[in-house]
Amino acid sequence: MSIRRQIDASLAQLTFAHREENYHHLSYEDDLHPYALLQQGDMAAVEEAQGKFTGPNMGLLSDDPVRNYQYLFVASVTVACRFCMEGGLPTEEAFNLSDLYIRQADKCADVKAICALHGEMLRDYCRRMQQLRRGGAYSRPVFQCLDYIEQHLQEPLSLELLAEKLGISASYLSVIFKKETGETVSECVRRKRVDTAKTLLQYTQYTCSEIAEYLCFSTDSHFSRVFRQYAGMTPGEYRKKHYRKHWEKQVGK
C-alpha cells in the first residue's frame, strides 16, 4: 500500500474515533487568537496560549509523551515566530530565536520542562514585540532597511547600497530613516555591529582582530575606537569582564 493510501486509511479511522469520543481540535480562530495577541505585545497571550498548550485539545503527535510535547512545542514556536515577523520583528531575530528555543526543547527530558520552556518562549517573543512597539512602528522602507542591515552586518554596508537594494533614493532613505529611528543609517550599522561584537566577545573564542575583520571594521584600532564609543570600554576590557559570565547557567536552562 502506498504512503498516501495508508494516510487516507488512517485519517478515516482517526476521524471516526474522534467522532465516537466527541473529541475536537481547537477551532482555527481559537488556535490562532493568542498569537494575534502576542503580535501586539499583549502578555495575555502567554496565559491563553499556555493554557491551550497544556489543555486536552492539542492533539496527539506521538505515543511518547515527551516527544509529543516536543512536536507541539515546535508547532507553537513556528506560529509565534511567523506572527511576530508579520508584526515587525526582524526576520533573522525571529528565526534565530525560534531555532534556539527548538534546540532547548529538544534537550528537555520531561513534559513539565517543555511546558515551562513554552511559557518562557512566549514571554520572550512578547517582550520583544513590546519593545518594538515602544520604539514606534516603522514605515516599510525603514523596516526593510533594518532587516537588511541585521542580515548583512558581516558585509560592507552604506547608505547608497541600502537605498539601491530597496529601490529608493539615498537622500529619501536618509531622511526617513533618521526621522523614524532617531539615528542615521551609519550610526545604526555601527551600533548593531558593536552589539554583535559584544555577543562574540562574551560567548566565543574569536580574537578581537577576527571579530573586527568579520564585522567589516577597517582596522583593529577602528574597531576598538567604535566599540569604546558605544560600550564605554575596549573590546579587550569587555571580554575580560564578560567572557562566558553565567554561561554555564544559561546553557543549562
Q: Into which CATH architecture does domain 140-251 fall?
A: Orthogonal Bundle (1.10)
pTM higher than 0.85, yes or no?
no
Could you tell me which residue, 5 or 157, shows the higher pLDDT? 157
Mean pLDDT over 172-192 rounds to 94
Q: What is the domain partition of the chain in residue ranges?
A: 3-134, 140-251
What confidence category does residue 251 fall into, taking pLDDT thresholds of 50, 70 and 90? very low
Mean pLDDT over 90-107 rounds to 92
Chain mean pLDDT for the chain: 85
What confidence category does residue 252 fall into, taking pLDDT thresholds of 50, 70 and 90? very low
- Is the pLDDT at 90 greater than 70? The verdict is yes
Could you tell me which residue, 61 or 65, shows the higher pLDDT? 65
Mean pLDDT over 139-158 rounds to 90
Which of 14-23, 107-116, 129-138, 144-153 shows the lowest mean pLDDT across its residues?
A: 14-23
Q: What is the pLDDT of residue 248?
A: 47
What confidence category does residue 39 fall into, taking pLDDT thresholds of 50, 70 and 90? confident
Mean pLDDT over 173-202 rounds to 92
Q: What is the pLDDT of residue 49?
A: 87
Q: What is the pLDDT of residue 44?
A: 87
Question: What contacts 70, CB < 8 A, 6 or more positions away?
Answer: 105, 106, 108, 114
